[in-house]
Amino acid sequence: MELTNLKRDFQLAKNRALAVLTKDLIDSLVAVTPIDTGAARAGWELEGSTIVNREAHLSDLNQGSSKQAPSHFVEAALLGHKHVRPSGTIVRNIK
C-alpha cells in the first residue's frame, strides 16, 4: 500500500471516529437537557468542530434553574464520556 493511500485511509478513519464521537456527545447532551418547551433540548448542534446550543436560557438551566437536571449537567455529560479530555473551555455562558 502506498503511503498516500495509507494517509488517506487514516484521515477517513479519523473523520469517521470523530463523527461518531460527536454524535454520541450530542445525544448525551440531548438526553440530559431539561425539557419544558423542548427548545433547549432541540438546540444542540455542531458548528465547525464545536458543539453549541444558542438557546438563551440554556446557561440558566445549566446553572440549576430546572428541577429536572442538576447544576452543570452539560459539563457532567461531556466529562462523563470516556473519550473526552478537556483542553479548554467546556461551557461558555452567552448572555
For the chain, percent helix, then strand, then coil, each to nearest 5?
A: 50, 10, 40
Whole-number pLDDT of residue 40: 95
Whole-number pLDDT of residue 1: 60
What is the Cα–Cα distance from 83 to 81, expressed in whole angstroms? 6
**Chain segment 78-93, per-residue pLDDT in tens:** 988 888 887 767 777 6
Q: Above 70 in pLDDT, residue 95? A: no
